[in-house]
Structure 1
Amino acid sequence: MRRNLRKWAGAGVAAFMAVASAVTPAAAANILLDNFWLPNGDYSTTPVNLPACSEPLALGTISMRFAETERMYWNAALNISTFQNVREIAYRPWGPDYQPRRYCSAMVTLSDARQHAIYYSIIEDSSFQGYTWGVEWCISGLDRNLAYAPNCKMARP
């Protein structure tokens, strides 16, 4: 008897919740639910602070992290020796309302003397905790975990 009562009470609560959610109109987000704590939530009105494609700090970050990834995860001793033909592919290709990005490409010579194309983007507010710009990259032929497959296409605009 008691088991049936619990079953019917649970079904009644579920039915009440279903009817209440269908009848209650959806409310707009209030100020507490808005992303007001984000420092650069509106990119169309804030100034863009992106460095150029040839920024030594960006290229150094790519070199350092590439060597670290190769050593730690792929047990390879590859390093980037040089960057050549650094150029911009696109700047804010989706318009001013989206997170600012600068897309770049270059040719890199690795420590094994082979040349590969590299595609990278400098993205505003994408560093650790979003305080400054960050860099994402893909070296053609060395995207071993296929994060930007096929052939680094997903690293381009």
Structure 2
Amino acid sequence: MRRVSLFSTLAAAICLSGLSAQAAGGRYVHPADRAEERIIPMYGNLPACEDPAVLGAITSRFNSREANFWGPLQAVSFDRVRPIAWRPWGDDFIPRRFCTARVLTNDGVLRRVDYSVRENLGLFGYTWNVNWCVSGLDRHRSYAPDCKMARP
């Protein structure tokens, strides 16, 4: 008959209980540290990737930036819109929805656009905001290489 020590049983119980309380990143997040429990709570009430307000915000800002700084390039339409990740770093970070799509520009070229919809990062922290990068048009290399830093 095999005897199991109290120490090994206790160690196994601690490991198993820790696995059930881990966040997306594989680390433990105490329930009181979740974004929903902050002084100004964040509930993750974000629009979907294909929401017209989200795509409209990207179109408006892209067209404005191109017209003011780079030339006549304009976004015309989006297709293949799909989510990539939802709160990939865990429940204690600002809720973010990561998405990707293709944007058709007025020069007839389809380009990949990576974007994230982020809670409480809009005007004065009262609403959601969109952070985006169009592949091949990151001229200042803010999200280099090839918009990788705009993805999770």
TM range (shorter): 0.7 to 0.9
Question: Residue in 2 aligned with 1:121?
Answer: 116
Name stretches of at least 5 consecutive residues in structure 2 with no aligned partner.
Answer: 1-32
**Residue equivalent to 1:43:** 35
How big is each residue's C-alpha offset from its partner over 1:39-68, in whole Å with a ceiling of 9 and x where there is no partner? xx9614342211100010010010010010
1:69 and 2:58 correspond: no
Structure 1: give runs of 5+ residues left out of the alignment: 1-40
The Cα of 1:104 is off from its aligned counterpart by 0.1
Query: 3-state SS of the aligned residue for 1:154?
Result: helix
> What residue number does 2:144 align with?
149
Aligned 8 A contact 2:34 2:91 in 1:
no
- Residue of structure 2 equivalent to 1:57: 53
SS in 2 for 1:82: strand
1:108 and 1:145 map into 2 onto residues whose CA distance is 20
Assess if the C-alpha contact under 8 Å between 2:44 and 2:96 holds in 1: no
- Structure 2: distance between partners of 1:156 and 1:80: 20
| Aligned equivalent of 1:94 | 89
Larger Rg: 1
Q: 1:120 Cα shift?
A: 0.2
Q: Normalization by structure 1: what TM-score?
A: 0.71
1:91-146, Cα deviation, whole Å (9 max, x unpaired): 00001100000000001110111010000000001111110000000000000111
Q: How high is the sequence identity, in percent, across the aligned residues? A: 47
**What SS does the corresponding residue of 1:99 show, helix, strand or coil?**
coil
Query: How many pairs were matched up?
Result: 116
2:35 aligned partner, one-letter code: Y
Runs of 4+ more than 6 Å apart:
none
The normalised TM-score by structure 2 is: 0.73
Distance 1:135 1:115 in 2: 20
Aligned partners of 1:42 and 1:69: how far apart in 2?
A: 36
User: C-alpha separation between the residues in 1 aligned to 2:88 and 2:110?
Assistant: 28
Amino acid at match of 1:112: D
